[in-house]
């Protein structure tokens, strides 16, 4: 404390300026480190999200293809039974017309 009392205003201002410069430099270094860390984490997160989206797209394509194949099979089955129904109807009408004539 005794040394602090003997400082002149100029020395005190110079000491404060030096301390402020050191503090600002240290804060700048720490902010730079934080920025680098954030960029690295952001990059890793973006890569992970991009990979997950790509995997999801592949899975969706596979499932849509399977659904399309299933729908086409159901459509063929429906057409087949409609054809059988109409052939049966034509045969029944032909049988009735033959029986009545």
Domain count for the chain: 1
- Give the domain range for residue 51: 7-100
**Mean pLDDT of the region 55-61:** 97
Q: What is the pLDDT of residue 1?
A: 47
Q: Indicate whether 93 belongs to any domain.
A: yes
Q: Are the C-beta atoms of residues 30 and 37 closer than 8 Å to each other? A: no
For residue 34, being part of any structural domain is answered with: yes
| Model confidence band, residue 57 (pLDDT cutoffs 50, 70, 90) | very high
Q: Is the pLDDT of residue 3 over 60?
A: no
Name 7's Cβ contacts closer than 8 Å, sequence gap at least 6: 15
Say if residue 73's pLDDT is above 50: yes
| Domain membership flag for residue 94 | yes
- Confidence band of 5 (pLDDT split at 50, 70, 90): low
Mean local confidence (pLDDT), 76-88 = 94
- Do 2 and 10 touch, CB atoms closer than 8 A? no
Domain assignment of residue 32, yes or no: yes
In a domain, 1, yes or no: no
């Amino acid at each position: 404390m005794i040394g602090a009392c003997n400082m002149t205003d100029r020395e005190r201002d110079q000491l404060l300026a030096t301390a402020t410069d050191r503090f600002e430099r240290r804060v700048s270094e720490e902010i730079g480190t934080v920025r680098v860390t954030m960029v690295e984490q952001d990059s890793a997160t973006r890569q992970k999200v991009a990979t997950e989206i790509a995997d999801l797209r592949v899975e969706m394509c596979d499932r849509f293809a399977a659904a399309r194949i299933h729908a086409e099979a159901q459509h063929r089955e429906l057409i087949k039974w409609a054809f059988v129904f109409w052939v049966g109807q034509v045969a029944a009408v032909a049988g009735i017309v033959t029986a009545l004539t």
